[in-house]
Chains A and B, each alone.
Chain A
């Protein structure tokens, strides 16, 4: 058993070391949501009034509303960043080194996912602290209760990234991920506006947002941050995590997956 733990620890540790060495990545991961919070949310505050609605007990500022969405955004970008580094690893020998480990492939991929989630947690908590200083003050216990929600949403967004890394053939195709995955997932969700608000504008967009797993990540985080559980979102996030993780494991399977379809050079 200790060998398994050593292996898992090594994979998580390497990801953390890589993250620490890429200070630009940490900065970018923080600046992105902070720009939304400091600039977009402040401007939007006057436009969008929010009546009391679960999980908020009273009227809230727009900044309060948008913070859970921005936490999920950090994790979304982090998941895609991990996917990018998986594709990069595949172009070097690093991915092969990982996959020839005697531990089962599903285990190695889950460890990779856990590593990506761990890194995202550091980013999210750093952001939550800055948001706190900015005046977004959820209940203090919320910082603890949000942890399982963040782990689960990080797993889902990381699993999507893992799956994408298996279908993206080259590093160059990664720009497409930005356009076709990150932006639509973020904007067609409840990250920036509540679903009922979206419905007032477009029923179709509301329905799309309702089936967007990112919406459920955001709601899971939002409720957990205010000491509550959104059960539907919990089920949706858990279900889609299992789906994407299963698909990624299948895609990395030597008998079926991407590796086998590619020709070698020698």
Chain B
């Protein structure tokens, strides 16, 4: 098991090659290629409608890919979907926790979906919540938590099975500045400390650190790839992004 984990550190957590997708005649993704290295925080930067959610739906197998290649930790999503899905954790844009159930009940359910028994899921959940100072909220109903807290719990829930790749599709939507900052810092720390590859879709420049890898996605195509500071250059990432996409302030 440890050997397998060590071997995973040498292959990309996510590899996407020449991926295209269309809804009828509307082309949502055009020849997209990108990678996420283990232990890296990789931002997928794009305005609404750029194709970020489509890419996530393809990588998570919610949509079937018709062209190109997707590999999670070296497992081809088409040929070995179970092995690929087992190595990834996902936080979608829309809230997934059941507000009427307690944090513990939600975590037990999320663990069960990954084949983890209740006791093991709760032990791991407590360990993860402890790190974000929410371990004492296990018995509370999700309804009683703030938006930022429930979001962090959702992220913790997606890590119960110790994935190698974490996909976050604009997880800070609708949160205040402080909660957003807390979540962004938390996920950056997860990438650094646990060797987790993170693909973080966003349209908010301030969520990206200078050393993060950035893929600028616009109208279904990757316009630029590099570290945030490389892409931003002298003008800064925000101005560079606006220039590339020709869009209004993001």
Contact = CB atoms under 8 A, between A and B. Distances in A.
Question: How big is chain A's contact interface, by range?
Answer: 35 or more
B64 A13 contact: no
Contacts of A10: 108-109, 111-113, 118
A96 B89 CA distance: 12
- Most A CB contacts (10 A, CB to CB) among B51, B62, B86, B170 go to B62
B73 to A, nearest CB: 13
Contacts, number: 128
B112 A9 contact: yes
Interface string B51-77: 111101100111110000000000000
A249 to B, nearest CB: 14
B96 A96 contact: yes
A6 B82 CA distance: 16
B233 interface: no
B101 A17 contact: yes
A18 B101 contact: yes
A104 B53 CA distance: 22
Nearest to A260: B63
Interface residues of B, number: 49
A13 B109 contact: yes
Query: Interface centre among A93, A97, A101, by most B CB within 10 Å?
Result: A97
Interface string A79-98: 00000000000011110111
Contacts of B96: 92-94, 96-97
B116 interface: yes
A100 B61 contact: yes
Nearest to B115: A3
B169 interface: yes
A263 B26 contact: yes
B98 A14 contact: yes
B53 A6 contact: no
B92 interface: yes
Given A263-B26, A264-B28, A264-B54, A96 B98 contact: no
A201 interface: no
A102 B85 contact: yes
Interface of A: 2-4, 6-7, 9-11, 13-14, 17-18, 21-22, 91-94, 96-104, 253-256, 259-266
Interface of B: 23, 26, 28, 46, 48-54, 56-57, 60-64, 81-83, 85-86, 88, 90, 92-96, 98, 100-101, 105, 108-118, 169-170, 201, 203
The 8 A-B pairs at the shortest CB distance, nearest first, are namely A10-B112, A3-B115, A264-B53, A93-B96, A266-B52, A255-B64, A266-B53, A102-B85
